Structure 1
Amino acid sequence: MSRRVLVTGGASGLGAALVAEFVARGDRVLICDLQAPAEGTGADYLRLNVTSDDDWAAALAWVNEQWGGLDVLVNNAGIASGGRIDVATIEEWQRVIDINLLGVVRGCRTFTPGFKAQGSGHIVNTASLAGLVHPPGMSSYTAVKAGVVALSETLSYELDPFGIFVTAICPGFFRTNLASSIAGSDTAVGHIAARLIEKSTYVPDQIAAQVMAGIDEQAMVVVPDEPARLAVWAKANERPTYDQEQRNFAARIKAIAEQAEHTEGTS
């Protein structure tokens, strides 16, 4: 049976891969993004800024007028962020909170009344492995992604009596254009994060296939790649080793930052 699906951040990366999966299944899809998707996606497009209440209202109006409702909401839009606590600015914190957390909140608030009225619906929120494990140098990102995981768990219980399912997606690093959105005061941490993304052997299509399997199972949390699953397992079962690895990573950040500062000071 064809579903009506809205995907934020659906023009590229994981969002585009999820759009392709839904379209391949015969679902009707609306891509909501700041940029238009490539041609030939088989989906409709509506420009949407997830920080804009007016844009969310326009998306709701479009869905109701064109489809008479929605079946699946995928809150996928987001940016990369990070930085040491004494380097990243409050303005950078406010930006990632508004996009990565409150953007998800706005989407849930916009479409939950319609889901309740029809007695069905599925909300899919893209969080991150960073919402489950919390490495150094990424406090703004881990905080908002942990918030998305917490929000999703709360809503999965809150909305269950109305026949609404909620799934949080928690992938690790995979090759995507997310690295291009890394911008901030802490360039040392930004370079490390970009390298980790670029070195990953996973691509969005692989992650999307696993996410779709989790959606089919109506799972509360989907950890779609093996390295991410190993990290979650290590935190739960090998905590001393996990803690030491995180401290080693922090020492690496310190060394890289000091080297960069030395280089800048001698140039």
Structure 2
Amino acid sequence: MKEFTGRFAVVTGGGTGMGRELARQLAAEGCNVAMCDVSQKNMAETVALIEEDRPPQGTRVTTHIADVSDESQLQRFRKEFEEQQQTDKLHLLFNNAGIGGGGSFVNDPREEWERTFNVCWGGVYLGCRTFLPLMLNADEGHIVNTSSVNGFWASLGPQVSHTAYAAAKFAVKGFTEALVTDLRLTAPHIKASVVMPGHIGTSIVANSRKVMTGTDADELSGEDIERARARIGRMGLDTAQLTDDAIRALAAEQHRRFLEEAPTTAAEAAKIILDGVKAERWRILVGADAHRMDELVRADPENAYEPAFFERLIQEVGWKLGG
């Protein structure tokens, strides 16, 4: 699919981050876009940005409230898509929505662990199940599933538990790689790509907290603060002097750093993804850090979870750590 003009695309998680930028860049090329998110406010902001970009006349952009971990909500989204976009065909499916959380299989609540897994993996699986019939109706199609560098390196470092997100992203990667052969045999007009971003400047930290707790960093409940304090303690840091306000400030700073100090912006990431789709690449690494991490893990998989490996990785990919 060398161009997107006149095509129909679905983007999950279109309210912020890479989903927002994918929707903007697709619409700018004259692609009709239907996005879903759990926040109507965020999607309205995306639509306003698209309108400022002045897409080609006749380009349809629609918004739909849907939690991608809930199949019934995705099925409602598909029905709305057919009605509002006036089509029974879909050319591009970007299963992009994701959240963090549920880091420890031992210490974190089962509900949080499964919420993260069900959004990050279930949203991809259910997205494909829900929209595949419309892609079968099209003359050509492309499924684009967002995994992560945590889909080939299941860690944030030796002091941080990271099981739910990493397990989900490994599942996305394996599923998409298997789809390459499956589609070649059963629906050769549809391609599949797995996207593995490194550190991209998005609001996933704040969005994840909002999804999990319904609050922003400065509104954390007493229970949320104590859980955050326990996690900091498990990282080997002294929490005795940390007040509740200090915990809130750390949460806000974590969001700011992740968004503003990333080596790759969401807009840059979206362009890399769309260029990869046009080139029919099934494996799309996003960011120089992702490429270098991939090289390091492949070269020394046995030691990939040792502290010395992490120190080398941090130095070579240029990530900034700290409070």
TM-score by length of 2: 0.70
Looking at structure 2, the residues matched to 63 and 145 of structure 1 have their Cα atoms a distance apart, in angstroms, of: 27
Query: CA-to-partner distance for each residue in 1:206-241, whole Å, 9 max, x for gaps?
Result: 111111111111211211100111001001114466
Q: Output the amino acid matched with 1:164.
A: I
Answer whether contact 2:102 2:108 (CA < 8 A) is retained. Answer: yes
Looking at structure 2, the residues matched to 224 and 55 of structure 1 have their Cα atoms a distance apart, in angstroms, of: 30
State yes or no: 1:90 paired with 2:110: yes
Residue 67 of structure 2 is aligned with which of 46, 49, 60? 49
> What does 1:3-82 align with in structure 2 at a 5 Å threshold?
3-36=7-40, 37=43, 38=45, 39-40=47-48, 41-42=50-51, 43-65=61-83, 66-82=86-102
Answer whether contact 1:156 1:164 (CA < 8 A) is retained. Answer: no
Q: Alpha-carbon deviation of 1:182?
A: 4.2
Looking at structure 1, the residues matched to 256 and 203 of structure 2 have their Cα atoms a distance apart, in angstroms, of: 12
RMSD: 2.4
State yes or no: 1:111 paired with 2:135: no
Q: Output the amino acid matched with 1:71.
A: H
CA 1:27–1:118 in 2, change beyond 3 Å: closer, same or farther? closer
Answer whether contact 1:14 1:204 (CA < 8 A) is retained. Answer: yes
Q: Alpha-carbon deviation of 1:167?
A: 0.9
- Report what 2:175 is aligned to: 151
Looking at structure 2, the residues matched to 3 and 24 of structure 1 have their Cα atoms a distance apart, in angstroms, of: 12
Q: Alpha-carbon deviation of 1:7?
A: 0.4
Looking at structure 1, the residues matched to 104 and 254 of structure 2 have their Cα atoms a distance apart, in angstroms, of: 13
**Structure 2: gaps (5+ residues):** 52-60, 210-223, 236-249, 312-323
Looking at structure 2, the residues matched to 3 and 221 of structure 1 have their Cα atoms a distance apart, in angstroms, of: 22
Looking at structure 2, the residues matched to 177 and 148 of structure 1 have their Cα atoms a distance apart, in angstroms, of: 21
Q: Output the amino acid matched with 1:78.
A: G
Q: Alpha-carbon deviation of 1:98?
A: 1.4
Looking at structure 2, the residues matched to 74 and 108 of structure 1 have their Cα atoms a distance apart, in angstroms, of: 9
Q: Alpha-carbon deviation of 1:247?
A: 6.5
Looking at structure 2, the residues matched to 139 and 215 of structure 1 have their Cα atoms a distance apart, in angstroms, of: 29
What is the number of residues matched between the two proteins?
A: 249
Give aligned-pair identity as a percent: 24
Residue 296 of structure 2 is aligned with which of 234, 240, 245? 234
Query: CA-to-partner distance for each residue in 1:84-132, whole Å, 9 max, x for gaps?
Result: 3322222112111211111111110011122224453111111111111
**Structure 1: gaps (5+ residues):** 250-267
User: Secondary structure of 1:105's partner?
Assistant: helix
- Report what 2:55 is aligned to: none
State yes or no: 1:197 paired with 2:258: yes
Answer whether contact 1:128 1:169 (CA < 8 A) is retained. Answer: yes
User: Secondary structure of 1:73's partner?
Assistant: strand
Answer whether contact 1:50 1:99 (CA < 8 A) is retained. Answer: yes
- Report what 2:270 is aligned to: 208
Q: For structure 1, which segment, 180-189 or 102-111, has the greater mean C-alpha deviation from structure 2 after superposition?
A: 180-189
State yes or no: 1:225 paired with 2:249: no
Residue 177 of structure 1 is aligned with which of 203, 214, 226? 203
Looking at structure 2, the residues matched to 151 and 242 of structure 1 have their Cα atoms a distance apart, in angstroms, of: 23
Answer whether contact 2:12 2:97 (CA < 8 A) is retained. Answer: yes
Q: Output the amino acid matched with 1:22.
A: L
Answer whether contact 2:193 2:282 (CA < 8 A) is retained. Answer: yes
Looking at structure 2, the residues matched to 241 and 223 of structure 1 have their Cα atoms a distance apart, in angstroms, of: 22
- Report what 1:260 is aligned to: none
Answer whether contact 1:182 1:194 (CA < 8 A) is retained. Answer: no
Answer whether contact 1:174 1:204 (CA < 8 A) is retained. Answer: yes
